[in-house]
């Protein structure tokens, strides 16, 4: 198959670029910037190279660079954000900070007659996340897009087939991003569309059969989309060699533990539920920092799985439904640490398992859903909204107590009931118990109660997200019910922050 190489310079969206390429049924490989040489690139026969974004500045001594010979190989190159700046730097241009005010979020960009912009409007909305800018173009390049704050939002050297975009075409909030990437893949690189999710599933099953052999696997099952799809994939590959362990840590939503058990009761898989609510709550007593919470939860999960493994006669592999957003945000691929997911950055250094199995590690959420459908899972499961493995523990900000957990659990249930009955679409929606208390008045008396924050976002990849414009009437009902039914709450607020600059979760 024709294939594209994506060089990862530590950006939060590196794998998202790969996902967008695969959406076009073009096979691609993601490698760290220092994981391949120019000679290997030529030998592998890549049709094109994409340089990802990254958190560094190209002019700093410790920033990630690549062999300048890359631009002389005759292979088409597309630089995105940091990759755009690096391409300019490698070709002799200048990158500086402070030209503008920096751009973050949805920005209006004016397009010129660039090769990648044919048939697009003169102005489009693009997703930006940068402070540095290209201030002097390399010889032979020309500017083909601008924004109010960025004089070079895109550049190209058409003769050498070198292209740079300061914005992120890979995120869904760049309206014509798919068209721009398609132009690079098919118009510039001449790729053929030959890669499908069906081929990924077949390859994954074959790989798991070979890797596991006749050994046994313990799967950390949460009941969410990721671990459920992982269970289905492993079950198809190794059958009865798989045992699913569902740990009820006490941080689940209202009635959720019973729902998970009911969902897997008739699956035919080996399923074990472990009640560890009191154990986890005791462990987290007095811990208020979110990173410490996540790490403690991740480590204790492993301890529970090790205990279950011994009861079962020792399991050789520990499997998890880890997906790529977990990996990226935890800083496990050279990207900046946004938050340590309990199943990545929260894992202890030592685990009493021969090896960790993470067959979904390279997939994004919508790809996991597509894989679930490919494996025959019901829509009710594949389309379920995500829920963090650390659960309500990272939605109760600050001190974690049984009382605060129960208060949030009830407030969250009210919000979800109202939103679901309203018919409003959202990718993820939940309540947060903040640290703030505020003055209120009930029955002519002064109160001093908790503040509940509500959050609803729309996204398909969970690497970027936009807040949902919920109707005022819906928000009013939610606020009224929460305050009236939960006397400990005196104020309800709604979060209107996109990702970036925020994350979906508060902690």
Out of 23, 170, 329, 358, the active site residue is 170
- Per annotation, catalytic residue among 23, 84, 130, 168: 168
One of 28, 81, 126, 296 is an active-site residue; which one? 81
How are the residues of the chain apportioned to helix, strand and coil, as percentages rounded to the nearest 5? 35, 25, 40
Give dist(CA 211, CA 205) in Å, integer.
Answer: 10
Contact 49, 41 (CB under 8 A): yes
Alpha-carbon distance of 368 to 201, in angstroms, equals 10
Residue from 55, 58, 63, 66 nearest 32 by CA:
66
152 annotated active-site: no
Separation CA 35–CA 45 (nearest Å): 16
Reduced to 3 states (helix: H, G, I; strand: E, B; else coil), residue 494 is strand
Between the CA of residue 229 and those of 58, 183, 366, 378, 470, what are the distances in Å? 40, 33, 12, 11, 31
Residue 297's contacts (CB-CB under 8 Å, 6 or more residues apart) are 249, 251, 280, 284, 342, 346, 389, 390, 393
For 398, the token pair is 């600050």
- Look at residues 266, 265, 353, 253 and name the one whose alpha carbon lies nearest to residue 304: 353
And the tokens for 338? 């946004």
Distance from chain centroid for Cα 501: 14
130 is catalytic: no
- Strand-strand pairing, 445-458 and 428-442: antiparallel
- Euclidean distance between CA atoms 162 and 233, whole angstroms: 40
- Could you give the CA distance from residue 236 to residue 225 in angstroms, rounded to a whole number? 17
Look up residue 495 and give its DSSP letter: -
The partner residues of 4 in beta bridges, in order of sequence, read 28, 48
Q: Does residue 154 contact residue 145 with C-beta atoms inside 8 Å?
A: yes
Name the phi and psi angles at 183, rounded to 5: -60, -40
CA distance 166 to 155: 9
- How far apart CA 260 and CA 262 sit, in angstroms, is 5
DSSP state, residue 410: H
40, 64 Cβ separation under 8 angstroms = no
Closest Cα partner for 243 from 303, 343, 310, 342? 310
Active-site annotation holds for 81: yes
- Write phi, then psi, for 147 (nearest 5 degrees): -125, 175
Q: In whole angstroms, how far apart are CA 261 and each of 197, 232, 351, 381, 413?
A: 29, 16, 26, 13, 19
Q: Which residues are catalytic?
A: 81, 168, 170
């Amino acid at each position: 198959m024709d294939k594209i190489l994506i060089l990862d310079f530590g950006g939060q969206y590196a794998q998202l670029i790969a996902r967008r390429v695969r959406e076009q049924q073009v096979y691609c490989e993601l490698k760290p910037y220092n994981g391949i040489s120019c000679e290997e690139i030529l030998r592998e026969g890549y049709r094109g190279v994409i340089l990802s974004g990254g958190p560094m500045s190209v002019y700093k001594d410790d920033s990630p660079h690549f062999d300048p010979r890359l631009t002389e190989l005759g292979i088409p190159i597309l630089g995105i954000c940091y990759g755009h700046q690096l391409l300019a730097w490698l070709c002799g241009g200048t990158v500086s900070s402070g030209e503008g005010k920096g751009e973050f979020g949805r920005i209006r960009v004016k397009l010129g007659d660039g090769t990648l912009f044919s048939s697009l409007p003169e102005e489009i909305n693009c997703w930006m996340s940068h402070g540095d800018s290209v201030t002097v173009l390399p010889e032979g390049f020309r500017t083909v897009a601008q924004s109010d704050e960025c004089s070079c939002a895109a550049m190209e050297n058409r003769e050498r087939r070198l292209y740079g975009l300061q914005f992120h075409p890979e995120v869904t909030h760049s309206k014509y991003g798919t068209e721009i990437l398609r132009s690079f893949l098919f118009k510039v690189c001449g790729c053929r569309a030959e890669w499908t999710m069906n081929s990924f599933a077949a390859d994954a099953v074959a790989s798991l059969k070979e890797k596991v052999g006749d050994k046994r696997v313990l799967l950390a099952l949460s009941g969410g989309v990721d671990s459920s799809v992982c269970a289905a994939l492993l079950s198809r590959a190794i059958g009865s060699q798989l045992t699913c362990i569902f740990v009820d840590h006490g941080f689940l939503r209202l009635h959720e533990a019973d729902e998970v058990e009911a969902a897997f009761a008739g699956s035919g898989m080996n399923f074990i539920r472990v009640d560890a609510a009191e154990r986890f709550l005791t462990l987290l007593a007095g811990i208020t920092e979110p990173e410490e919470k996540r790490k403690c939860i991740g480590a204790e999960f492993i301890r529970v799985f090790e205990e279950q493994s011994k009861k079962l006669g020792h399991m050789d592999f520990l499997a998890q439904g880890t997906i790529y957003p977990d990996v990226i945000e935890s800083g496990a691929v050279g990207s900046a640490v946004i938050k340590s997911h309990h199943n990545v950055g929260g894992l202890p250094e030592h685990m009493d398992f021969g090896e960790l199995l993470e067959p979904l590690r390279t997939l994004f959420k919508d790809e996991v859903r597509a894989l679930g459908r490919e494996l025959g899972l019901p829509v009710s499961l594949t389309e379920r909204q995500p829920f963090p493995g650390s659960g309500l523990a990272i939605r109760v900000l600050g001190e974690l107590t049984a009382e605060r957990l129960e208060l949030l659990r009830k407030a969250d249930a009210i919000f979800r009931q109202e939103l679901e009955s309203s018919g409003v679409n959202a990718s993820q929606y939940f309540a947060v118990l903040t640290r703030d208390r505020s003055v209120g008045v009930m029955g002519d008396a002064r109160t001093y109660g908790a503040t509940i924050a509500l959050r609803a976002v729309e996204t398909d990849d969970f690497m970027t997200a936009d807040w949902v414009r919920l109707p005022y009437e819906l928000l009013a009902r939610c606020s009224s019910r929460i305050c009236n039914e939960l006397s400990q709450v005196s104020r309800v607020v709604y979060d209107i922050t996109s990702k970036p600059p925020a994350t979906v979760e508060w902690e």
